Structure formats: structure tokens, C-alpha cells
Copies of this chain bind each other. A is one copy, B any other.
């Protein structure tokens, strides 16, 4: 039976999330529904894309991911169902897909509200319908109509220049660990096993740890997270606030 995941900025108090689940179960009894997160910062596509990007590859191929953020039709390029990396995604074409994927999706279907009434809760009325049709076995290529491109939002990517890598902070988790957009591949490619300095505003770090507990409590460390992105952390947390690191601030690695 299909798995459908939900990523929204709806929060956990209001009725919105359970209304969606009820709508799914009404169309597809026995569906497996998994919450990715409903505590996305309101209207923040970068936040949504980071969390979904870290989460979705853990699900089996064929999983359908519903994205409920910034879904105003007139503020977007329409509603879409698309296939990428073996997974399906349903959401508003508001730029989130360019933040979510390195490669531009090619298999895109545009899905439309049946009438104006569906505009007030499109996640429940439009997205759920498409997701359930697909989950029930309808061929992807006959849902909605074909669509060519998607809105682009520029995601800052880490870049290298000579012996330096320049990146930025993209997410601060609930432990205060701060993730960068610098991945292990770029680090190894530019670094070639040379010594280095990771330069923050008021700190520098000279080595990569394998575990948080490698350093004494209260000390700053750098570690590749489970997705192979460089993370700045402190043992027992709070690196973000204690070091005053902010989303989009830059970080430099200088190889010596």
C-alpha cells in the first residue's frame, strides 16, 4: 500500500493536518500516512526544502510526498505533481522544487482545482486528490496535464576558489547544530587531505570530528552529518545561539 508523507507549516494544534489525513483515508482506506514535519517556519520555503531533502530519501521509492506551504494559486506557477529520484511530489510551483533538487525535474504534471471553492484548502482538495489517484494505481502520465518548467529560486551553493571553500549556513536544528551547504565531496576535492582552518566569525576549527563526544563539553566541533554535509556543533548542543550563527551567514574553509 502506498506511503504518503506530509510536510507543511500548518503546526500541530489546528485541524488542518488531521483534515488532510481524513481526506486521504476517505479516498484510500489503509493508506500509510507519515508526518515529515508540520512545524516548518511559516512561509519559509528554505526551511521546508531542507527538512524534506534530508528526510525523503529515507522512504522507499514510489512514496508520495505532499508539500503544504505557500499554496496560494495566484502566487505560484500552478499546482504540480512530479516525479524525481524515484519519488513523487505534490505541491505548489512556488520555487520549492528548485531548492529541493539539484537537477531540474522533467516529469511534471499540472493539476488544477475543480472550482474556486478548492482554493481555500488546496492541500486537502487538490493535492490529496492527485496523490490518492496516483497511489490507487492511476498512471502518472494521465493525471492532470503535462507541464514544462518550474519556477526557480536561487539556492546558494557552496563554491571553491583556489584553496578556499565558501559556503553558508542553511539550517539550525533543535540541538542548535548548524548545517552548512558544504558537502564531503567538495571538501575532499578541494582539500586533497591538506590541513585546514574552518573560519567562523569568532572561532576557527582545525579538524573534523567523527562523534560529538570527541571534544570536551562546551567546545566547538565540525562534523559531517548523516547526509555528508558539514555541520558546526557543540557537545551537548546550542552551537547556533552560543556562537551567534545565523541562516545564510557565510563560512569559509581555508586549506593550508
The interface of chain A, by Cβ under 8 A from chain B, is 1, 3, 5, 10-16, 18-23, 25-26, 29-30, 32-40, 42-43, 50-52, 54-60, 63, 72-75, 116-117, 119-121, 124-125, 173-175, 210-214, 223-226, 236-237
Contact = CB atoms under 8 A, between A and B. Distances in A.
B51 A15 contact: yes
5 contacts: A18-B36, A19-B58, A22-B55, A26-B60, A30-B32
- The prevalent SS among residues of A at the interface is mixed
A54 B15 contact: yes
A228 B11 CA distance: 22
Contact of A14 (B12, B16, B120, B174): B174
B37 A14 contact: yes
Contact of A19 (B55, B72, B73): B55
Given A30-B32, A119-B210, A51 B14 contact: yes
